[in-house]
Structure 1
Amino acid sequence: MGFDPHEPEQRDQLNDALKAADISMGELWLRYFSICGSAGEYEVHAYSQGLISLPVFQRDLLAMAANELIAEKPQLHAPFSDQLNGAESNGAASGSGSTGTAATLDRHPGDTGKDTSR
Structure 2
Amino acid sequence: MANAFMKENSRISINVAGGGSSAGIKAVREGTADIGASSRELERDEKNGLMVIPIAIDGIALVVNPENRVNNLTLEQVRRIYAGEITNWKEVGGKGGGDQCLHPGGRVRNPRCL
Q: Structure 1-normalised TM-score?
A: 0.27
Higher helix share: 1
**Larger relative contact order (CA 8 Å, sep ≥ 6):** 1
Q: Which has the larger radius of gyration?
A: 1
